[in-house]
Amino acid sequence: MSAARETAGDPGLPLEGFTVVSLEQAVAAPLATRHLADLGARVIKVERPGSGDFARGYDRSVQGESSYFVWLNRGKESVELDIKDAGDRALLDRIVAGADVFVHNLVPGAVDRLGLDAATVRARHPRLVHCSVSGYGPDGPYGRKKAYDLLIQCESGLVSTTGTPEEVAKSGISIADIATGMYAYSGILTALLRRERTGRGAALDVAMLDALGEWMTQPAYRAVHGGREVPRTGARHASIAPYGPYRVGDGGTVFLGVQNDREWAALCREVLGRPELVGDPRFVHNTERVEHDAEITSAVEASFAGGTVEGVEALLEGAGIANARVRSPREFADHPQLLARGRWDTVGLPGGTRVGALVPPVGWGDLRYSLGDVPALGAHTAAVRAEFGGGDRNGTGRTGGRHGSQEVRS
C-alpha cells in the first residue's frame, strides 16, 4: 500500500484508511484504482484464480511482466476469488461490507446477474461509493454492447479525425480507457468528499463513450456548426496555423506552435526574417492562416532550409515561440526535464527486482509519494482470507485452483 515518506510534519497521504475493492481488468478501472492507491488507499484487486487480470498477459516486456500491468497495478493487493463460488462470494461480500469504494468493469448485464449492481449493494451499504465502468452506459440501444478502446475511438469520432487525408488512424495509446479511468478516479474522489459532508455514498456510472466524447466535443461543435467535418491533417493542427512539423536543412524536423497574432508577428520578424508577412491579408488572423497553411509551410521551411534543428530551436526560443522535437517513448524515458526534476521513482516487481515508475503528476509540496509494489497473482489471497474469515471455499480448504468465471470487460 502506498504511504508517504517520513518528513517533518508529514500529514500522511490523503486516502490512508480508505479501502477500495475492485473487480477490474485491462486499463480503465485499474488506472482509476491505481491513482487511489498512489494516494494511500488500500486497493484489494479481485482476480480470476489461475489467470488473473488478462492485462497480465498483454506482453512480457518489463523483466518478464506486462508493461500494462506494471503501469496500472502498483500498490494493490491481489486476491484470487471465483465470485460464482458460494464461499468466495460470501468472502467478497464481507470485504465489500468493510470498504469505502467498490469499482467494477464487468461485462454488460453481469453486474445485475451477480447482484453486484449499485442498487443491490448500496441497499446494504448506503455509505459505499459504487463505481461502474462500462463501454456505453447501463441503458440505451448500446447498453449491452461490448466495448474496447479502439472501438470507442471509432464510435466517438476520434479515429475519423486522426491520421492523414488518405487514411484514418487510431491514437497510439489507450486514450478511451485513459479518459474513462481518469473520470472514474475524479468521480470517486468527489463522491468521497460529498460523503464526508453528508454521510451518503454514491452510485457512479462512467461510460467510455461519454468520457472520450467529452474530449471530442470541440471537433463535434466545429463539424455541426461549421458545416463540414474536421479534416485529418496528420501531425498538423486542424484549427490553428502555423502549428505542426517543419523540415530543417540538416534533415531534422522541428515542431512549433503559434497561438495568436502577436506570436505570428514575432515568428515572421525574428525567426523567418519576413516582416512583410505580418500584414499579408492571407495571414492576418488565425482563420486566414489555417486557410493558407500550405503557403505558410513553404515560407517556414524555406527559411529553415539553411539551418540546423538546434539553431532553429534557439531562434524560436529567443522569439518566445513554443517548440518541441519528436522523441520516441524510449527517449522520453530519459527526458532531461524528468531527470532534472526527479520525476522517476522505482517500484518492486513480483520477481523481486525493481523498475522505474513515474511519480504521480500532482505535486503536493508537503509530502512525497512512496509507490507500492506490483503484486504477483494471488499474492495477498491467504492474508485477506484470514483477515475476513474466508479460509476455505465450500468447506474444502482450497484457496485457489480452478479458473474463476468473473465476466469482465476492458
CB 133 within 8 A of CB 206: yes
* CA gap 379, 49 in Å, rounded: 11
CB 3 within 8 A of CB 12: yes
CA angle 383, 103, 192 (to 5 degrees): 100
Q: Is the peptide bond before 245 cis (omega within 30 degrees of 0)?
A: no
Q: Which three cell numbers stand for residue 335?
A: 527526458
> In angstroms, what CA-CA distances link 329 with 19, 225, 326, 333, 335?
34, 37, 10, 6, 10
Which residue is associated with the grid cell 486497493? 43
Q: Please report which helix (H) or strand (E) contains residue 135, including its range.
A: none
Q: Which three cell numbers stand for residue 359?
A: 511519480
Neighbours of 309 (CB within 10 A): 17
- Choice among 177, 210, 293, 373 that is catalytic: 177
Q: List own/partner pairs for 285-292 with CB under 8 A and 24 or more apart.
A: 285/261, 286/240, 286/241, 286/260, 286/261, 289/241, 289/242, 289/258, 289/264, 290/238, 290/239, 290/240, 290/241, 292/241
Closest CA to 384 of 184, 25, 96: 96
* CA gap 34, 32 in Å, rounded: 6
- First-to-last alpha carbon distance for the chain, in angstroms, is 24
Instruction: Give the pairing of strands 76-80 and 101-104.
Output: unpaired
* Active site (annotated) includes residue 139: no
Which residues are catalytically annotated? 177
